[in-house]
Amino acid sequence: MKKALFCLALCCLVVQAFAQRFNIIPAPVELYEQPGEFIIDKSVVIVAPSAGTQLDSTLQWFSDRIATATGFHLKTAKTGTKVLRIVLSQADKQEGYKLKVTPTEITLKAPSPAGVFYGLQTLLQLLPPDIESSQPIERIWSVPCTDIIDYPRFGWRGLMLDVSRHFYTKEEVKRYIDEMARYKYNIFHWHLSDDNGWRIEIKSLPELTKVGAWRVARTGRWGTFESPQPGEPAKEGGFYTQEDIKEILAYAQARYITVLPEIDVPAHSLAMIAAYPNLSCTQLHYNVNPGSHFYKKEDNALCIGNDSVYLVLDKVFTEIAALFPFNYIHVGGDEAYKGFWDNCPKCRKRMEQENLKNVDELQSYFVKRLEKILRSKGKKLIGWDEILEGGLAPEATVMSWRGMKGGIEAAKMNHHVVMSPWEYCYLDLYQGDPAAEPPTYGMCRLSDSYNYDPVPDGVDEKYILGGQGNLWTESIANYRHIQYMTWPRALALSEVYWSPKAKRNWNKFVQRMEVHFVRFDTAHIKYSRSAWNAIVKPSKDNNGQLSVQLSTEIKGLDIYYTFDNSDPDNMYPQYTGQPLVFPAGAANLSIVTYHDGKKVGELLTVGKEELLKRLKDN
């Protein structure tokens, strides 16, 4: 009996040791653990076929990454005693790879340079977190021995960055692309225009950037800002020149990321209309909006009855089509207020000429006409799910954001779909209790992102291209905040879009993610630990007294609390699962979480009045 218990304990230790060796995100399709390690040192050489510029540049990128943290410059050679061998081989999964690590050789087989790149990203994750260091560290650089077979579930694995609400520099966009690439994302959706700024140079329409790229400066809570005042200078903003665009496109291509440009029309066009007032129904002069409330007050939609609109859009998309190699262009199509169209003589005349019954069909006419413009330039149209209203353009692809419904409807019409439902994929929403978060709106917890599936029941998966996370930046004024809102929810989504559905396991994901937080710390990437904070659910008991139930997303956490306005630690009362009733006179509840005696969550203080307000709002 004692021998059996000893063997069981030994097996548990071995399993635990292996679990600590492999913390890959997104989880591979198959991973077979093997004993031993491959040690990277200055004797390691890369043996690879001469397969052209793309593979050569990928191997140079990897060698540079290794050299930065280790000081070892891996050279290419025909043979060596310790080898990283790259093999291009035939396979169906073009982005897939096979990685085999033994004590003397690492072999990476893939059908394409993209597959090699993803295999190298996995190899970097097998190295210690110190590999993210920006300067050489003296240590043993070991790679655990393993056999990995891997390929993505979906071909569309994207993140969207809104650069209209706040402008981010060329270097910051590149950094975002780098951070995406670590987790095998392959689509960068670039939201380049909106009511709050036009961000791309169009040489034939210089006013778009001369006027549309700039607005008056405001700081504070978006949506509450004062409107531009007469004579106030518009100095906040910026734009990307076409040379900037080409540079970023080349940078993304080297990391096997395709860039999807978005010009949001017919609504969300106030920056364009500020530059060219004749394009709206009212033809009034408007300023680029700085974040003040204007919806339904100012006309931010293009006039669909005005032929000049289509001439301008033809110029815009001619230059965009020439710049961006992707076969898709995103045209927005969302949140159009149709009241100005209803009262516009030109729009009414267009409806009469085209036998359109209502303004929904008028928008559908616009999208179908825009699709013809894009097709003439060799491009395909993709838009938000509002493009379904009034009838879908013949070859349009739908990006479903208002839940899954629009995507389901489009897929059942045999149209391709990219799923990005806001409640699972919007990275600008609260990640945890608003009392401990920067102000925003809505809620999308880490577990929400991880547990959703892009393929709804009853839908043929062949019409679901994949999905993406969307980061709108109304409340995000700097790059560190971008990182905080993106990570770790984008870790969760990377696994949703890459890994087999059957491989997903929330508890194991959390364990692996903790290791990636160490990598983030080393790389100076900001991230959120909101999933480790307590969840506060207010209610009223039978006597009408306010009570609170506490829980956590992460299992196994201990919750400590106080009502006396002091900051609790693990020497304070521990929550036992029973509802807490506010004592007489108490105004605040303060909560903190621990795991194995270590503080893991942020201190969270919620006022009694705030909890009563939440009850009323719900």
Q: Are residues 276 and 410 in the same domain?
A: yes
| pLDDT attached to residue 4 | 42
Q: Tell me which of 523, 546, 571 is where a domain ends.
A: 523
Mean pLDDT of 188-197: 98
pLDDT per position as a tens digit, 59-109: 999 999 999 999 999 999 888 889 999 999 988 899 999 999 999 999 999
pLDDT per position as a tens digit, 386-414: 999 999 999 999 999 999 999 999 999 99
Residue 458 has pLDDT above 70, yes or no: yes
Distance of alpha carbon 217 from alpha carbon 220, whole angstroms: 10
- What CATH number does the domain containing 539 carry? 2.60.40
Q: Are residues 162 and 129 in the same domain?
A: no
Q: Are residues 166 and 146 in the same domain?
A: no
Q: Are residues 96 and 198 in the same domain?
A: no
Helix pair 359-375, 307-323: axis angle to 10 deg: 40
| pLDDT attached to residue 91 | 81
| pLDDT attached to residue 541 | 78
With respect to residue 6, please indicate whether it lies within any of the assigned structural domains: no
- What CATH number does the domain containing 497 carry? 3.20.20.80
With respect to residue 578, please indicate whether it lies within any of the assigned structural domains: yes
Residue 468 has pLDDT above 90, yes or no: yes
How many domains in the chain? 3
User: Which residues are catalytically annotated?
Assistant: 335
Q: What is the DSSP string of 247-283?
A: HHHHHHHHTT-EEEEEEEESSS-HHHHHH-GGGBSS-
With respect to residue 477, please indicate whether it lies within any of the assigned structural domains: yes
Residue 206 has pLDDT above 80, yes or no: yes
Question: Cα angle at 25 between 22 and 27, to 5 degrees?
Answer: 75
pLDDT per position as a tens digit, 9-53: 333 333 333 445 799 999 999 999 999 999 999 999 999 987 678
Give the domain extent around 557: 533-617
pLDDT per position as a tens digit, 562-606: 999 999 999 999 999 999 999 989 999 999 999 999 999 999 999
CA atoms within 13 A on the CB side of 447: 14
Residue 431 has pLDDT above 60, yes or no: yes
- What CATH number does the domain containing 145 carry? 3.30.379.10
Q: What is the mean pLDDT of the chain?
A: 94
Q: Are residues 88 and 230 in the same domain?
A: no
With respect to residue 330, please indicate whether it lies within any of the assigned structural domains: yes
Res. 239 pLDDT band, cuts 50 70 90: very high
pTM of the model: 0.95
Q: Are residues 245 and 289 in the same domain?
A: yes
| pLDDT attached to residue 5 | 38
| pLDDT attached to residue 20 | 52
Q: Tell me which of 523, 557, 580 is where a domain ends.
A: 523
Mean pLDDT of 232-239: 97
Exposure string over 334-360, b if 16+ CB within 10 A, otherwise e: bebbbebbeebebbbebbeeeebeebb
| pLDDT attached to residue 51 | 62
Mean pLDDT of 470-492: 98
Could you tell me whether strands 380-384 and 197-198 are parallel, antiparallel, or unpaired per DSSP bridges? unpaired
Q: Are residues 445 and 559 in the same domain?
A: no
Name the token pair of 427: 């990275």
Q: Which of 229-238, 535-544, 593-602 has the lowest mean pLDDT?
A: 535-544
Q: Are residues 146 and 162 in the same domain?
A: no
Mean pLDDT of 188-202: 98
Q: Are residues 139 and 216 in the same domain?
A: no
Q: Are residues 82 and 222 in the same domain?
A: no
pLDDT per position as a tens digit, 296-330: 999 999 999 999 999 999 999 999 999 999 999 99
Q: What type of residue sits at position 269?
A: S
| pLDDT attached to residue 258 | 98
